Amino acid sequence: MSLLIAFLALISGLATWLGVKRLRVLALQRNLVDKPNERSSHTVPVPRVGGIPIFGISWLAMCFIISLGYLGIGPTPGPGWLGFLAGAFLVGCISLLEDVRELPRLVRFGVHALAGILVLIPAIQGTSIELPVVGSVLPSLLVWILCLIWIVGLTNAYNFMDGIDGIAGTQGLIAGIGWFFTGIGTGFVPITAAGAIIAATCAAFLLHNWAPAKIFMGDVGSTFLGFTFACLPFLAIYSTPVDPSQAPFILIAFFLVWPFVVDASFTFMRRARNRENVFQAHRSHLYQRLAANYEGNRTANHRATSGLYGFLAFCGLVASHFYFHNPNLSPWLGLLAVGILFAALFVHTSKVERKA
């Protein structure tokens, strides 16, 4: 099965690279481009639907792995996987429509919430769930709401954070690697395969998206990745041979995407405090402020910022691996480390802005 996963990841990466290359030509022909405006981080029109191969190829590859389990060729998928595939398909389709034409905000959030419910109903129904700091709790209305907020929130936060060349692909690559190693540690094939497939498709996409980007991921790619990373801990909790209390999957999931979660949450709360429209497009995320104020040209600034966020994500990868092998360690230590790293990021951003 290990060779099959490696082969599937290789094929997924190659197909994504070829697909994005061809899609860029089609997007230019059909004028599916992001035109620069006062909130843009780019200066020339760039095709915006490059995430279609990430979504389509990753989804098909995961369908293949899951189907093998139902056919008895591999481990039987645990609860929630069919709901995840259905939910991911809904998220990808509504986001593709959003890339082509603007949709009402309630429609988009409604589909995201429905997709999350499809995962949560079979995945956590009637079984205790291990939450960071809180500990083991039985599903209740409050727990359901918190889990749904996590899924819908990360789905959209990932989209908000996809604003400069390479940043979303780099985060996807590192988080995919993290889930790949987590899957190996649990011995559960679908988690291992999902991590490998996502890492491969993001790596292939980065070959087109690293600054200066030839194509953007668009909503279809970023929301699919956010939804996937939000759902994987729930799929892992009740699908692996590992006792959930002995593997803090939700804490691991947070560490693997913490730069996106914390930056998006901090910016959301700051804008809400200032009574700004939190759903209106803007350029006040920390990564946007860095990319706009580093010394150098646009390409160098995007590379430096995406590289910095990649390093922060790698720190989260190390933390996730450490907590997987030391599940009894207090989560407060990891959260304190995240707080220190974010404080350093905030101070660095402020210094760069003052210097500029």
pLDDT surpassing 70 at residue 153? yes
Could you read off the pLDDT of 207-257 as tens digits, one per residue? 999 999 999 999 999 999 999 999 999 988 766 555 555 568 899 999 999
Element (H, E) at 291: helix 286-293
Mean pLDDT lowest among 64-73, 177-186, 197-206, 259-268: 64-73
Note the pLDDT of residue 2.
84
pLDDT surpassing 90 at residue 19? yes
Note the pLDDT of residue 340.
97
Note the pLDDT of residue 280.
79
Note the pLDDT of residue 127.
61
Going from N- to C-terminal start, the domains of the chain cover 2-355
Which one has a higher pLDDT value, 27 or 133?
27
Of the candidates 26, 93, 14, the residue with the CA atom closest to the CA atom of residue 57: 14
Kindly compute the dihedral angle of the four CA atoms of residues 74, 79, 82, 85, in this order, to the nearest 10 degrees.
-90
Note the pLDDT of residue 172.
98
Structure tokens at 247: 């593997």
Note the pLDDT of residue 356.
77
Note the pLDDT of residue 40.
57
* 293/354 Cα distance (integer angstroms): 9
pLDDT band, residue 33 (cuts 50/70/90): confident
* 190/196 Cα distance (integer angstroms): 10
pLDDT surpassing 70 at residue 42? no
DSSP E strands in the chain: the ranges are 33-34, 46-47, 129-131, 135-137
Instruction: Provide the whole-model pTM.
Output: 0.93
Note the pLDDT of residue 24.
93
Q: What number of residues does the chain have?
A: 356
CB-count burial class (<10 Å; 0-12, 13-18, 19+) for 151: buried
| Summary mean pLDDT of the chain | 89
pLDDT surpassing 90 at residue 295? no
